[in-house]
Structure 1
Amino acid sequence: MKTVEFFKKKQVLSFEVFPPKRTSPIETIYSTLDELKGLHPDYISVTYGAGGSLNNNKTLEIAANIKNRYEFESVAHLPCINLTKEDVLLALNTIRENGIENILALRGDINPDITPCTDFSHASDLVAFIREHGDFNIIGACYPEGHPESKSIVDDIYNLKRKVDAGVSQLTTQLFLDNEYFYTFRERVALAGINVPIEAGIMPVVNKKQIERMVSLCGVHLPTKFIKMMARYENNPIAMRDAGIAYAVDQIVDLAAQGVDGIHLYTMNNPYIAQKIYEAVYRLLAA
């Protein structure tokens, strides 16, 4: 089933997981999925392994198991910066053979240690290529605070419109900690003529290291109340975890009340955190 169909019925709840490190057995992710299964997400997406190579990448294997073993719709991430057209065709064949209908099409992060391939310069190029080679539901990424590499918000929205026009049928946002950025972004994309469902990506922040990484990679804005929370609890791991969960729940409650199309929860492969958030918000999203 194409995940875009879920948005016609309800506010969607989806989870994201990532493959285990190459030094860890793949079975470690299945213990996580065993616990997430009881939370009944509409679908689960799987991020791409580090480096962007098809070799030794467990993403497609995990996505296939989510679809066929756990019987949830799955989304396979596919970043193109280090892939050739032949690589993508091989991935599409594997995805198709395993009954997966949904792909998150990404440019991917540039790795300074790897020379990028030149077949796809932008995510929109990958989207158009996928559209030409199969009947997949293509999901795109978007950035409420603007892509870090964009010249301006206007330029970022313009590029997003190109991606949607190329064949994206739903969008998932990068994480954000201030809902006002999401609401402003939603207004801007509507004015630009982008009318596909937009899921809000929510990442529960449970430790200081995680925040430092978010700021360096995404440039995410830290609201005053979030900074105060960090200052109060950063030296108490359990309190910080619980405060991070509470902050994410507060975000989701507000987003649900404002008619968000769906919530995409970055689980960080932590079923406990996903469980606590699910218990707090599932009635809101099911209403």
Structure 2
Amino acid sequence: MDNIVTTLDQLQTLKPRFISVTCSNNKNDIEETTLKLAGYINNTLNIPAIAHLPAAYLSAEQVKRILTELNALNIQQVLALRGDIIPTVPCKKDFRYASDLIKFVHIQEPTFKISGACYPEIHPESPDLVSDIHYLKQKVDAGCTQLITQLFFDNDKFFGFKENCALAGINVPIIAGIMPITNRKQALRLIKTTSAHLPKKFLAIFDKYEHDPESLRTAGLAYAVDQIVDLITRGAEGIHLYTMNHAETAINIQKTIGSLFNTNEQPSK
């Protein structure tokens, strides 16, 4: 907790539009940790906080209690997710999909700003693109006012996804999720587990600097910077950095291209 607070204090200097606070699939983690950190961000650092809520692991009564606590903290933003399905962790029965939770929150607290997750390269469990966009439209129709993408490394995939959303009548802001790759372990994990397309340029960086940690970090940050510059230039509505609790990553990016963000387009964390 001390390390996270130190990271948050450093991120405050960047004046982000918001900082999101994730959680594990555990109600105690949400109520005892997520809300505590969100309150610190919102009320001590004076930065808008977004609390993650995993639909599959919360009951309706728990969500009501969490919304009451968020109101008490003067927080009115949530990111409603289904949550990763883990065989060893029992799911609750009230919310099967993220859209169910979004609809419930929207009815309970109509003034809340509800963010939803989206996958520029299709959710791993979706049978096809049409189905994926259909379910995403259900989230928006249920009350989602903003979408934040899963990480991606090919900007053309993102802009193709945006076009498909527009054709489907999805007209809420879509924030581009970027994860700078700064170490070998992180890169290996992504290569093995991510469904995101890994361009030749990305793989070449990993191959060339596989045994040179400092150069891999520098090249990984440079790749993320190139992505962000291209996204902003081509009209992306916002950038969400997956900082993984490492403030220096966001600070370095801000130093390099911070002038590209005006007061209404600050990068989120």
Shorter-chain TM range is over 0.9
Matched with 1:92 is 67
Matched with 1:231 is 207
- Give the Cα–Cα distance (whole angstroms) in 2 for the partners of residues 213 and 230 of structure 1: 12
Q: How does 1:208-287 map onto structure 2 within 5 Å?
A: 208-286=184-262
Contact 1:52 1:81 in 2 (8 A): no
- CA-based RMSD of the aligned residues comes to 1.3
1:228-255 Cα deviation digits (max 9, x unpaired): 0000112111111111110000000000
1:29-87 Cα deviation digits (max 9, x unpaired): 11111111111111111111x23323574111100110000001111111111111111
One-letter amino acid of the counterpart of residue 161, structure 2:
F
Contact 1:54 1:87 in 2 (8 A): no
1:199 match: secondary structure: strand
- Give the Cα–Cα distance (whole angstroms) in 1 for the partners of residues 185 and 32 of structure 2: 26
Higher relative contact order (CA 8 A, sep 6+): 1
TM-score by length of 1: 0.88
Contact 1:148 1:218 in 2 (8 A): no
Seq. identity, %? 48
Q: CA deviation at 1:217?
A: 4.3
Mark the runs of 5 or more structure 1 residues left unpaired by the alignment: 1-25
One-letter amino acid of the counterpart of residue 153, structure 1:
L
Of residues 115, 119, 128, the one that matches 2:90 is: 115
Q: How many residues align?
A: 261
Q: Bigger shift: 190-199 or 111-120?
A: 111-120
Runs of 4+ aligned residues of structure 1 deviating over 4 Å after TM superposition are none
2:114 match: secondary structure: strand
Query: Is 1:53 matched with 2:53?
Result: no
Query: Is 1:41 matched with 2:16?
Result: yes
Q: How does 1:34-183 map onto structure 2 within 5 Å?
A: 34-48=9-23, 50-55=24-29, 57-134=32-109, 135-183=111-159
Contact 1:177 1:220 in 2 (8 A): yes
TM-score by length of 2: 0.94
Query: Is 1:191 matched with 2:167?
Result: yes
- Give the Cα–Cα distance (whole angstroms) in 2 for the partners of residues 167 and 222 of structure 1: 33
1:114 match: secondary structure: coil
Mark the runs of 5 or more structure 2 residues left unpaired by the alignment: 264-269
Q: CA deviation at 1:219?
A: 1.1
